[in-house]
Amino acid sequence: MHLIPALKELGLLGGLNNPVKLSSAEFAEYMATSSKTSARILKSLEDEGYIERRIVPGGQEVALLEKGRQLLKKEYEDYRHIFTETVEKKSIQLRGSIVSGLGEGHYYIGQEGYQRQFGDKLGFAPYPGTLNVHLDDLSLKFRDKLAESAVIPISGFTNGERTFGACHCFCVKVEGFEAAVVVPDRTHYPADLLEIISPVKLRDELDLKDGDEVEVTVDY
């Protein structure tokens, strides 16, 4: 269970933005463990895609990859919520109209690689499909409030035939129903569109059709 502490130490050493030159013995001192254990931790982090290592004269350089940065960011957000839990939480309501997507949500959200992560990180297995909400002009001005809520990273993966990209989520409520906004990491994404997943089929539960207005609550 050295994952977070090891990434934290590498981040504190400057590895978040630049490679850090250090030996396993030096890293062992920061981790208060043996050189053999610290070497095993670094190899595990590298094998799992959290860091990259490069052999250089006199030792090695270690840098955090995006997967490692996202995990540290999630840990930061968790602690931020813990230590601000006594402060009154704020929320904002975004409004928009229901629009049809391209029909791809069912295919992508239904992938086992996504479903497993959604279940682990969001606490629910989503209905395989998305509810697409086109924000009105007023709500569009406040869309950035999503970024002030906890960012939940979802890693990319392969299923043996093709690669599926990473994304990130923000927990929301849609007319009182538990849900999350999904935003792809590497795809140009229109700012006025929210793609929403939920454990239920929201169109049916709320009796929605294209053009109907809906309210999305964001806590921040």
81 is in an annotated binding site: no
101 is in an annotated binding site: yes
18 is in an annotated binding site: no
Residue-range domains of the chain with CATH: 3-81 (1.10.10.10), 91-219 (2.40.30.30)
89 is in an annotated binding site: no
67 is in an annotated binding site: no
193 is in an annotated binding site: no
* pTM, 2 dp: 0.59
For the chain, which ranges sit under pLDDT 50? none
59 is in an annotated binding site: no
181 is in an annotated binding site: no
Q: What is the pLDDT of residue 89?
A: 63
CA distances (Å), 88 to each of 91, 180, 214, in order? 10, 22, 25
Q: What is the pLDDT of residue 181?
A: 95
Q: What is the pLDDT of residue 134?
A: 96
187 is in an annotated binding site: yes
Residues 6+ apart with CB under 8 A from 139: 93, 94, 95, 96
195 is in an annotated binding site: yes
Angle at 11 between CA 38 and CA 2, to 5 degrees: 35
200 is in an annotated binding site: yes
49 is in an annotated binding site: no
